């Protein structure tokens, strides 16, 4: 039986005596009315691609191909409604089309005929489509402070994802990064709830409102990024007041922007696994935030309620617990028991069918919005696959804008009248360090494979950092001393023997980490690797100036060697176009404009953020290696004045407008990010030293003076009170841009 869907897929007329479908809700209701409990349980099930391929999960036979018998069992017998992921590595568009077409053709044979909703982790471009455009990871995108660019990048990514036949993307990550130990730090937009919110909204709109819309998925709701130990999927202790103040706002903003789906935090918060927390998943997400879309579990997390968290007695108990908490779809992903047990729970009366209907209605809603009922979920024609050349420019621009110059204090040994950066002259340049000649290092995790470590799946033809440096500075000028992550003293000694300030203009030392994600990136310390510190010390001892370039996903502490480097650049994980971006910044072809979206700690045990409390300033005070918002340019812009144009008092609900005067002290045009902080002088809850209030980018020509205005709504100057409710309190507020400050009085009732 083709099912109700068949009427729409084939363009058949509606049979006599059948009311025409006039709206989304009416259509979904009509589909839902035809489904059995088993159909509904299948719709709520998501399995990984491995489960329908030849071979075993985790050991799929090469070349990867669909298994007809498994397809029949999973899609027709079990009526599974969603498939995700690759089966271990990226595929070319042609192979994706084979997979998606085969899956959807078999899904059409179900009694319901409902298409499969396919999902993928395309987190910095089409991470699992061979040859796709890969831009910076989220932390690097945040360093651009350019929400328009981020939205365009997401639009472009959506075009390639959808062209591969996939309508659902598990992105963006809206976790707020407060602890550099956490191995998924680089997947975030940094430490400031406002910046994370703005970037997240831009990415959601880019995915869902662009020329090729796909469903966005907000990850990982909520509190995932603050485990007490700093290690992935370990317990978090976050009082609800802080949860609402720091971690919830990005999700609230993205829900308001229309995000279609949400993925749940794998961990536990305050002793309660989030997958079993009705207060978080229903009371807050549904009732307070008004989220109407689909909530999907993370990988195997319902099963983990009894395997890891020990709050359920068995799998069936765990399913009952999660569904009642508010889960709509289980990312199972490698067993076929879930739909069977879920149907049993309904037949036994332990879960009401009306509760199941709520979830299935949401799932069908996402499928409807993504036009799966019209297309059958079939991929578009390969001849319509987007031209990569049209999409590369945005990714390359994002890489350029992300590069953050944090130090530029030295001078050339050979050309003492020039600063160390940009590199001028014609002398010999040594390039070394373990991340200098690795495309994997530039891209990070979720690139070709889950961990992003296999060079077999790198984008053909994309250069490493040293290859781009050679292209920009000339082959004859560059000497490469290649190192892997495990290099030792003998390797360092060999490099030092080749160096002399008389013959080497400078050394560009590539520091950082190789790819990882999730628990594979857990560490015992965030101090920079000892061999990398030894390398810097040894080169410094030769008298050759050092330019450090850090490629990695979290800030490693390096305060012992930081003074030994004449310049220091944070490159983040800039993607396939990051190599040329780094080279263009080193050469001065691009005037750097990136700004840190996090606070770089000076010591491994220091995790202060820009919005720390006044009591945290005791002792050594706030003394990070680099502050949130740090970043230099080759033509420095000075902030000379800050004025409040709207007066010294404001009423509740008013918008405060400030004017900032900027003066470019150099000769080059500079893109300056003006960052405005607010300070609540006295509050009923201990106020932060600073709060990010507003920011704006402006181009200041060389030698010019200009003004820029920024607006701050007094509605955004509130706090989460002792009753866990948002409130705005009257009193004195400060505003600051760099060293320029002003104050105003907020008056009126609370």
Residues tagged active-site:
298
Dihedrals φ, ψ of 554, to 5°? Answer: -150, 155
Q: Is 381 exposed, middle or buried (0-12, 13-18, 19+ CB in 10 A)?
A: exposed
Question: DSSP class of residue 329?
Answer: B
Residue bearing tokens 């968290």:
309
Q: How many CB atoms lie within 10 A of CB 581?
A: 30
Dihedrals φ, ψ of 434, to 5°? Answer: -70, -15
Q: Is 62 exposed, middle or buried (0-12, 13-18, 19+ CB in 10 A)?
A: exposed
Radius of gyration of the chain (CA): 27
Within its chain, how far is the Cα of 280 from the centroid? 22
Residue 56 vs residues 68, 87, 449: alpha-carbon distances, Å:
14, 10, 18
Q: Is 57 exposed, middle or buried (0-12, 13-18, 19+ CB in 10 A)?
A: middle
Strand order in the sheet with 478-482: 404-408, 567-572, 546-551, 504-512, 428-433, 478-482
Q: Which two tokens stand for residue 606?
A: 């220091």
Q: How many CB atoms lie within 10 A of CB 417?
A: 7
* Alpha carbon distance 522, 313 (integer Å): 29
* Alpha carbon distance 140, 617 (integer Å): 29
Dihedrals φ, ψ of 48, to 5°? Answer: -80, 155
Residue 17 vs residues 9, 13, 32: alpha-carbon distances, Å:
20, 12, 19
* Alpha carbon distance 658, 661 (integer Å): 10
> Would strands 705-713 and 655-664 be described as parallel, antiparallel, or unpaired?
antiparallel
CB–CB of 261/220 below 8 Å?
no
Dihedrals φ, ψ of 217, to 5°? Answer: -140, 120
């Amino acid at each position: 039986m083709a099912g109700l869907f068949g009427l729409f897929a084939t363009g058949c007329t509606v049979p006599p005596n059948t009311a025409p479908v006039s709206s989304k809700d009416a259509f979904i209701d009509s589909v839902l009315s035809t489904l059995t409990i088993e159909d509904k349980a299948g719709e709520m099930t998501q399995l990984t691609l491995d489960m329908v391929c030849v071979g075993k999960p985790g050991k799929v036979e090469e070349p990867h191909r669909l298994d007809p018998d498994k397809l029949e069992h999973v899609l027709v017998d079990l009526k599974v409604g969603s498939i995700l992921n690759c089966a271990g590595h990226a595929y070319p568009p042609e192979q994706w089309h084979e997979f998606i077409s085969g899956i959807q053709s078999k899904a059409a044979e179900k009694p319901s005929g409902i298409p499969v909703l396919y999902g993928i982790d395309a987190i910095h471009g089409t991470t699992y489509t061979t040859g796709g455009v890969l831009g910076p990871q989220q932390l690097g995108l945040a360093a651009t402070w350019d929400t328009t660019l981020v939205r365009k990048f997401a639009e472009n990514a959506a075009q390639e994802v959808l062209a591969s036949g996939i309508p659902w993307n598990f992105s963006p990550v809206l976790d707020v990064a407060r602890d550099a130990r956490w191995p998924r730090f680089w997947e975030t937009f940094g430490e400031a709830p406002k910046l994370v919110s703005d970037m997240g909204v831009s990415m959601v709109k880019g995915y869902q409102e662009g020329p090729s819309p796909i469903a966005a998925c907000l990850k990982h709701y909520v509190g995932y990024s603050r485990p007490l130990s700093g290690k992935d999927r370990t317990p978090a202790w976050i009082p609800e007041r802080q949860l609402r103040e720091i971690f919830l706002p990005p999700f609230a903003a993205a829900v308001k922007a229309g995000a279609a789906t949400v993925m749940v935090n794998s961990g536990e918060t305050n002793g309660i696994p989030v997958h079993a927390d009705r207060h978080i998943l229903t009371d807050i997400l549904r009732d307070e935030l008004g989220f109407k879309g689909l909530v999907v579990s993370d990988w195997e997390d319902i099963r983990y309620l009894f395997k890891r968290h020990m709050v359920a007695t068995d799998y069936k108990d765990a399913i009952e617990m999660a569904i009642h908490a508010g889960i709509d779809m289980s990312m199972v992903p490698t067993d076929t028991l879930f739909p069977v047990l879920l149907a049993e729970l309904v037949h036994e009366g332990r879960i009401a069918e009306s509760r199941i209907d709520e979830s299935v209605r949401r799932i069908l809603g996402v499928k409807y919005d993504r036009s799966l009922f019209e297309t059958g979920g079939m991929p578009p024609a390969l001849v319509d696959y987007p031209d990569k050349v049209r999409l590369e420019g945005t990714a390359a621009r994002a890489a350029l804008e992300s590069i953050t110059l944090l130090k530029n204090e030295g001078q050339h040994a050979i050309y003492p009248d020039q600063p160390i950066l940009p590199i001028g002259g014609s002398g010999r340049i040594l390039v070394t360090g373990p991340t200098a000649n690795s495309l994997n290092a530039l891209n990070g995790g979720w690139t070709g494979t889950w961990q992003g470590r296999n060079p077999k799946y790198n984008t053909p033809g994309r250069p490493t950092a040293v290859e781009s440096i050679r292209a920009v500075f000339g082959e004859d000028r560059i000497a490469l001393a290649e190192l892997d992550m495990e290099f030792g003293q003998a390797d360092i000694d060999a490099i030092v023997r080749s160096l002399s300030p008389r013959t080497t203009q400078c050394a560009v030392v590539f520091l950082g980490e190789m790819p990882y994600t999730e628990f594979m990136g857990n560490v015992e310390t965030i101090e920079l690797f000892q061999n990398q510190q030894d390398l810097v010390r040894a080169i410094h001892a030769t008298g050759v100036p050092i330019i450090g370039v850090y490629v990695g996903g979290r800030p490693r502490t390096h305060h012992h060697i930081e003074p030994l480097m004449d310049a220091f650049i944070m490159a983040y994980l800039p993607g396939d176009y990051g190599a040329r971006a780094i080279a263009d910044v080193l050469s001065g072809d691009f005037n750097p404009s990136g700004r840190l979206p996090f606070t770089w700690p000076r010591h491994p045990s220091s995790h202060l953020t820009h919005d720390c409390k006044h009591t945290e300033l005791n002792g050594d005070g706030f003394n990070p290696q680099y502050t949130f918002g740090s970043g230099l340019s080759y033509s420095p812009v000075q902030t000379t004045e800050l004025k409040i144009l709207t007066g010294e008092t404001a009423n509740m609900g008013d918008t405060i407008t400030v004017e900032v005067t900027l003066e470019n002290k150099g000769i080059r045009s500079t893109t300056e990010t003006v960052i405005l902080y607010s300070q609540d002088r006295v509050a009923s809850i201990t106020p932060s030293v600073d709060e990010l209030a507003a920011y704006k980018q402006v181009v200041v020509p060389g030698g010019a003076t200009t003004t820029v205005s920024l607006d701050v709504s007094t509605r955004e100057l509130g706090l989460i009170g002792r009753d866990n409710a948002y409130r705005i309190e009257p009193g004195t507020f400060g505003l600051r841009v760099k060293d320029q400050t002003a104050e105003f009085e907020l008056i009126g009732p609370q």
